[in-house]
Amino acid sequence: MTDELLRALADPTRARIVELLAAEQLCVCHLVELTGATSSNLSNHLRVLRGVGAVEAEPAGRFTYYRLRPEVLEVVSAHYAGLASRARLALVVKRPCD
Amino acid sequence: MTDELLRALADPTRARIVELLAAEQLCVCHLVELTGATSSNLSNHLRVLRGVGAVEAEPAGRFTYYRLRPEVLEVVSAHYAGLASRARLALVVKRPCD
DNA sequence: TCGTTGCATCAGCGCGTGCTGACATCACCG
DNA sequence: CGGTGATGTCAGCACGCGCTGATGCAACGA
């Protein structure tokens, strides 16, 4: 669970990409029309998502299909679930000020 | 699940604050010594976390205690769990190019 | 009551980062 | 083979945003 992964997923445009890829595999041309962003813009964002392992690319002729990597999303989900669980226990603990 | 919430939690300093608050309630003076950040810096970050409902403040005399709101973290966890779940199904769906 | 301490707020600065546009590359099709 | 379209890369710019330092304020203690 790196900060980098969380930051990658927290960007609005990239979050939108992840939402779209959660429904079906898409190539960049689909993402262009679905998001309204330019292709170079999307290409940059997709590189970030690839860099943190959130998506993987599958070249298919002229096109490039992208799909999510569910395990990575599950790691993030488990991270926040663990925090939430510990946070419940922490509600009854209060460190004294001196 | 707003982008704002995700962005708030994805910042490294704020993520550190959340980690610390997942163990016990702390006042700002504790966070100052635990993180090494300045109090005004922390105050700014805590305002952001309050703004998205991730933490709540409890004034106690001169001090201000902060605690996490586990429900919010659970919402985030569930959000990513849902994405992961849908992403698994999406692996067998591929939208054709044209 | 006055000084101290913990915390919040704000303006200003500087850096990180997202967006753009131009270019390169590669695959397909005529 | 040339043309076209899909994608990736990069430099440059602009804006957002985190950090800082000064200030204000409220609560406690001497």
pLDDT at B2 over 80: yes
Residues of A in contact with B81 (CB under 8 A): 73-74, 77, 81
Q: What is the mean pLDDT of residues B69-93?
A: 98
Check residue B77 and give its pLDDT.
98
Nucleotide nearest A14, CA–C1', reads C18
pLDDT at A38 over 90: yes
Check residue B98 and give its pLDDT.
72
Q: Find and list the nucleotides of strand D having atoms within 7 Å of a protein beta carbon.
A: 5-11, 17-23, 26-28
State how far the Cα of B53 lies from the Cα of B55, in Å rounded to an integer.
6
Nearest chain B Cα to A18, which residue? B83
Check residue A97 and give its pLDDT.
86
Q: Which of B19, B25, B83 lies nearest to residue A22, judging by beta carbons?
A: B83
pLDDT at A82 over 80: yes
Q: What is the mean pLDDT of residues A57-76?
A: 97
Q: Backbone phi, then psi, for B23, in 5-degree steps?
A: -100, -35
What is the CATH architecture assignment of B3-90?
Orthogonal Bundle (1.10)
pLDDT at B66 over 80: yes
State how far the Cα of A56 lies from the Cα of A46, in Å rounded to an integer.
9
Q: Backbone phi, then psi, for A62, in 5-degree steps?
A: -70, -20
C-alpha dihedral over B86, B92, B95, B97, to 10 degrees?
140
Check residue B21 and give its pLDDT.
98
Integer CA distances (angstroms), A27 to A41, A89, A96, A97, B83, in order? 14, 44, 55, 55, 19
How many helices (H) and strands (E) chain A has is answered by 5, 3
Q: What is the mean pLDDT of residues A20-38?
A: 97
Domain ranges of chain A: 3-90
Give residue-wise pLDDT tens across range B19-36.
999 999 999 999 999 999
Of A12, A60, A56, nearest to A36 by C-alpha is A12
Residues of B in contact with A6 (CB under 8 A): 6, 9-10, 15
Q: CB atoms < 10 A from the CB of B16, how many?
A: 17
Q: Which of A73, A90, A93 lies nearest to residue B80, judging by beta carbons?
A: A73
Q: Which of A3, A15, A21 lies nearest to residue B12, judging by beta carbons?
A: A3
pLDDT at A24 over 80: yes
pLDDT at B61 over 90: yes
Q: What is the mean pLDDT of residues A18-40?
A: 97
Q: What is the mean pLDDT of residues A41-66?
A: 97
Q: Backbone phi, then psi, for A68, in 5-degree steps?
A: -75, 160
